């Protein structure tokens, strides 16, 4: 019997592990892909208190090392279902079953696809959702980035360091990112910006050759040749498999301010829960709160 199982190894999940371990509880972190979550793919983190600048991968690595030193256990497994059995929980993965006294869901979100025919066929052949992972493959080439918020702007700045040109295409007529990032975008000579564009078609044979857009105002067609298209249009949650124990709001887990879900002993932290602000700092805060509440729940029992 494990004291606390944490589903997700991002900033929220690892912070929850940190606080749980420091309270003397046994912890198992279950992560289906890679530790660090979304922030691990960020080229620069500049809004974390006390750290002027750090890469997302380095920050994630530091958090991982910290909880490893405290004795956290890890498994790279995909959680498929949680059941409440008597006074504890059974967590079922694609490989095993585990029992825990409390569960913290910190499953995060995944990249939103644009939903145009050929998108899945081109993943790894010109379509990517991670400039950090794949940008270097397109050094000295022309690329397109679709998106208008912070992640998209960070990706565009990163790509502009080694791509010949970066063409940012947005659906609306303005950016939704932080002013400082927008300012940097306009300062880069090899970044071009076109607003009010809706992607209609990927043109490709074996690999991506060009993108076909429609101007949402004039309805004119625009074809942009490119070696790659980076898509950064947000994230979506994957919480339906927890619906037997939690309430969902547009796919996000409903909690109170203390990260309690509809089931005592089950908590949600980070981007997977319904809230207004999804940032690294709010994920870390959620992780700390959820862990404290889970520890108190176990101690009361």
Question: Tell me: the pLDDT tens digits for 35-46?
Answer: 898 888 777 788
- The answer as to whether 117 is a domain residue is no
pLDDT at 33: 86
Long-range contacts of 66-70 (CB under 8 A, 24+ apart): 66/14, 66/18, 67/14, 67/17, 67/18, 67/21, 67/27, 67/29, 70/17, 70/18, 70/21, 70/22
Percent of the chain, pLDDT > 70? 100
What's the rounded Cα separation, in Å, for the pair 290 and 247?
17
What's the rounded Cα separation, in Å, for the pair 6 and 29?
5
- The answer as to whether 77 is a domain residue is yes
Nearest residue to 82 via CA among 13, 146, 7: 7
Sheet holding 208-215, edge to edge: 197-204, 208-215, 221-225
Exposed e or buried b for every residue in 258-293, given b needs 16+ CB within 10 A? Answer: ebbbebebbbbbbbbbbbeebebebbbbbbbbbbbb
Residue 134: pLDDT band (50, 70, 90) is: confident
**pLDDT at position 160 over 80:** yes
pLDDT at 278: 86
The number of distinct structural domains making up the chain is 2
**pLDDT at position 100 over 90:** yes
What's the rounded Cα separation, in Å, for the pair 203 and 207?
9
- The answer as to whether 122 is a domain residue is no
CATH number at residue 96: 3.50.50.60
pLDDT at 260: 98
Do residue 199 and residue 245 come from a single domain? no
Q: Lowest mean pLDDT: which of 31-35, 167-171, 286-290?
A: 31-35
Residue 218: pLDDT band (50, 70, 90) is: very high
Average pLDDT, the chain: 95
For the residues 161-183, what does the mean pLDDT come to? 97
Do residue 193 and residue 51 come from a single domain? no
Do residue 145 and residue 97 come from a single domain? no
Residue 237: pLDDT band (50, 70, 90) is: very high
- The answer as to whether 119 is a domain residue is no
- The answer as to whether 179 is a domain residue is yes
- The answer as to whether 257 is a domain residue is yes
Tokens representing 264? Answer: 């005592």
Which helix (H) or strand (E) is 288 found in, with range? helix 280-300
pLDDT at 44: 79
**Domain boundary residue, one of 201, 231, 261:** 231
pLDDT at 132: 82
Do residue 6 and residue 105 come from a single domain? yes
**Domain boundary residue, one of 210, 231, 252:** 231
pLDDT at 279: 87
Q: Lowest mean pLDDT: which of 4-8, 91-95, 126-130?
A: 126-130
**pLDDT at position 133 over 90:** no
**pLDDT at position 205 over 90:** yes
Do residue 20 and residue 87 come from a single domain? yes
What's the rounded Cα separation, in Å, for the pair 130 and 160?
14
Are the C-beta atoms of residues 258 and 104 closer than 8 Å to each other? Answer: no
Are the C-beta atoms of residues 217 and 197 closer than 8 Å to each other? Answer: no
pLDDT at 85: 97
Do residue 189 and residue 141 come from a single domain? yes
Range of the domain at 185: 127-231
Which pTM value belongs to this model? 0.80
pLDDT at 41: 77
**Domain boundary residue, one of 170, 201, 231:** 231
Do residue 246 and residue 224 come from a single domain? no
Do residue 8 and residue 106 come from a single domain? yes
What's the rounded Cα separation, in Å, for the pair 194 and 176?
14
For the residues 61-79, what does the mean pLDDT come to? 97
Do residue 227 and residue 239 come from a single domain? no
What's the rounded Cα separation, in Å, for the pair 17 and 39?
17
Please indicate whether residue 14 or residue 37 has the higher confidence score (pLDDT).
14
Residue 296: pLDDT band (50, 70, 90) is: very high
């Amino acid at each position: 019997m494990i004291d606390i199982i944490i589903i997700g190894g991002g900033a929220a999940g690892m912070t929850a592990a940190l606080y749980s371990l420091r309270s003397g509880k046994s912890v198992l972190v279950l992560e289906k892909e890679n530790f660090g979550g979304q922030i691990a793919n960020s080229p620069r983190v500049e809004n974390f208190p006390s750290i002027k600048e750090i890469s997302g991968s380095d920050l994630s690595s530091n958090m991982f090392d910290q909880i490893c030193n405290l004795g956290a256990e890890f498994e790279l497994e995909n959680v498929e279902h949680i059941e409440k059995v008597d006074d504890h929980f059974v967590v079922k993965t694609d490989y095993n079953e585990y029992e825990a006294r409390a569960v913290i869901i910190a499953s995060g979100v995944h990249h939103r696809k644009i939903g145009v025919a050929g998108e899945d066929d081109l993943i790894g052949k010109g379509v990517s959702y991670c400039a950090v992972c794949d940008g270097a493959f397109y050094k000295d080439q022309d690329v397109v980035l679709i998106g208008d918020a912070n992640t998209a702007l960070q990706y565009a700045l990163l790509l502009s360091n080694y791509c010949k040109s970066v063409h940012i295409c947005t659906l609306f007529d303005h950016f939704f990112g932080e002013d400082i990032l927008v300012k940097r975008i306009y300062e880069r000579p090899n970044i071009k910006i076109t607003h009010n564009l809706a992607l209609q078609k990927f043109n490709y044979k074996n690999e991506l050759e060009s993108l076909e857009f429609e101007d949402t105002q004039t309805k004119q067609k625009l074809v942009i040749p490119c070696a790659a298209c980076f898509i950064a249009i947000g994230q979506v949650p994957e919480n339906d498999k927890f619906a037997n124990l939690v309430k969902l709001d547009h796919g996000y887990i409903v909690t109170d301010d203390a990260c309690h879900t509809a089931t005592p002993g089950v908590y949600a932290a980070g981007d997977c829960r319904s809230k207004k602000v999804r940032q690294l700092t709010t994920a870390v805060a959620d992780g700390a709160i959820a862990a404290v509440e889970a520890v108190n729940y176990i101690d009361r029992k």
